[in-house]
Amino acid sequence: MLIKFEVENWLSFRERICFTMLSTRERQHGERIARLPRYGTVKVLPIAAIYGGNASGKTNFFKAIHFVRELVLKSSRPEVPIGVQPFRLEAEAANKPSSFLIQVLANEVIYEFSFVVTATSVIEEKLVSLGRTADKVLYHRKDGQIKLASSLPDQDFLTFAFNGTQDNQLFLTNSVQQKGRQFQPVYSWFRNNLRLIAPDSRFAAFDLFIEKGSFINENVNKLLPALDTGIDRLGGEEIPFANLAIPDELRDDIRKETPDGGVIKLRIEPQNDCYLVRRNGNDFKARKLVTFHNMNDGGEEKFDMVNESDGSQRVIDLLPAFLAVSDRAAQKVFIIDELDRSLHTLLTRQLLEAYLAECGADSRAQVLFTTHDLLLMDQSLLRRDEMWLVERDRQGASSLIPLSDFNSDIRYDKDIRKSYLQGRMGGMPKIHPMLSFQAVDKD
């Protein structure tokens, strides 16, 4: 689970902002809040919605978490700069480092991982194991030195791993990639539990769509007809490997690099065609992801993905995520930028309601999303501490505010959309009156 995230001097976030999934004392929808017995009264929310005007900073929040995940999971070559993006509308900030802090629940332990970086180096890095009464600093890297907790096993290996850590590389990453196990739970959380879905992402699990009998294939095919997409089912169409519309060089590379019995995934733009290529000896077979619609006179008709609406494609992209988090044993955290893109508001709400109905005290899954859909800003669906506002000031800097900060002004039974649209809580686009849409006379 994601517990907390902080970021400073990143894109539009000039000052430090703090986002938390810890619940407040609000009682509404209390039955779905996760309890952490190891931490006493700590309770964690299963969902968060982030609102704000266009260019307010919602996507920058998404990008900040994506940056942290990529830096943790991918080892940097010595000559490659870190892809940090400081606040650029102030000269002083543009020359300062960016800082990040994230708290995660991994194996029922809360870890706090933080680091400060520039384009060329990791200035500071710290990993802390949080306890009910006391915290333990597992390691603290600063000024080219590292201090390790005395309780950590195999100190000689950790010292060796640190000495081999590049200036532009996280010690956490290098130690795990050098086969160290001390910090594996944190690394594994980023690799296996955290998933990010961008507005233009498509069919990350399309191989499971094609494989008949897979959990994803069977369940998506049950849900698609119920969601009024017009699609009866997803499936695969056999395509001769020689007929794939790919460059000959790529075809040759696939033949050379795919091991016997191996399977690779191909996605071809702009048609959005998705293929599975399987090798059996010298034989290569390709299957293409397609949809099937029921015909009025019986039978079914096959469609390519390019023939499906953007909304249907978005549903297909999101369903695996909602299936994954709706499993009672799930521990996935999905962060979705522009959840409502190309979706009708009733369909979006139905997805959220179905997920929330499965949440309880033992849940460890979460869904965070950015949205403009005001019909979801409804206290019968979301608690006040599950809704956040991003606002950009006149200097171009973004701030992040939870609606729970307005609890004294917003009753639990009030329609908060009216207050939001009246600008009483912020997070609204600042649109200046336009004089005219009349075209300028070219003469």
Question: How many domains does the chain contain in total?
Answer: 2
DSSP 199-213: TT---TTHHHHHSTT
**What's the CA angle centered on 417, arms 414 and 420, to 5 degrees?**
110
Place of tokens 């900040």: 64
Establish if 330 belongs to a structural domain.
no
Establish if 187 belongs to a structural domain.
yes
Place of tokens 């008949």: 212
> What does the pLDDT read at residue 424?
64
For residue 223, count other CB atoms closer than 10 A to its CB. 16
- Looking at the fold, whether 75 and 186 belong to one and the same domain comes out as yes
Q: What is the CATH number of the domain that holds 5?
A: 3.40.50
Contacts of 326 (CB under 8 A, 6+ apart): 354, 355, 358, 365
- Looking at the fold, whether 163 and 238 belong to one and the same domain comes out as no
The DSSP secondary-structure symbol of 414 reads S
Establish if 331 belongs to a structural domain.
no
For residue 279, give the 3-state DSSP assignment: strand
- Looking at the fold, whether 407 and 302 belong to one and the same domain comes out as no
The C-alpha atoms of residue 254 and residue 142 are separated, in whole angstroms, by 45
Contacts of 171 (CB under 8 A, 6+ apart): 122, 125, 139, 141, 146, 161, 162, 165
Strand order in the sheet with 109-117: 17-20, 2-8, 98-106, 109-117, 122-130, 136-142, 145-148
**What's the CA angle centered on 18, arms 35 and 67, to 5 degrees?**
100
Cα–Cα distances in angstroms (integers) from residue 329 to residues 22, 134, 325, 357, 360, in the given order: 20, 29, 8, 14, 11
- Looking at the fold, whether 233 and 291 belong to one and the same domain comes out as yes
- Looking at the fold, whether 407 and 288 belong to one and the same domain comes out as no
The C-alpha atoms of residue 160 and residue 147 are separated, in whole angstroms, by 13
For residue 8, count other CB atoms closer than 10 A to its CB. 21
Establish if 328 belongs to a structural domain.
no
Establish if 320 belongs to a structural domain.
no
- Looking at the fold, whether 302 and 397 belong to one and the same domain comes out as no
Cα–Cα distances in angstroms (integers) from residue 374 to residues 358, 401, 412, in the given order: 24, 17, 17
The C-alpha atoms of residue 158 and residue 162 are separated, in whole angstroms, by 6
Establish if 326 belongs to a structural domain.
no
- Looking at the fold, whether 159 and 31 belong to one and the same domain comes out as yes
> What does the pLDDT read at residue 24?
94
- Looking at the fold, whether 355 and 250 belong to one and the same domain comes out as no
Establish if 322 belongs to a structural domain.
no
Establish if 75 belongs to a structural domain.
yes
- Looking at the fold, whether 194 and 210 belong to one and the same domain comes out as no
The DSSP secondary-structure symbol of 431 reads P
- Looking at the fold, whether 175 and 215 belong to one and the same domain comes out as no
- Looking at the fold, whether 171 and 228 belong to one and the same domain comes out as no
Structure tokens at 256: 């050379």
DSSP strands (E only) in 46-88: 47-52
Question: What are the 10-residue block averages of pLDDT along the chain, 443 residues in total?
Answer: 98 97 94 96 97 93 97 86 95 94 97 97 97 96 96 96 95 95 97 94 78 83 90 92 90 93 86 87 92 92 92 92 89 96 94 96 97 94 95 94 78 71 67 59 58
Give the domain range for residue 211.
206-311
- Looking at the fold, whether 237 and 374 belong to one and the same domain comes out as no
Domain end marker among 247, 276, 311: 311
pTM: 0.90
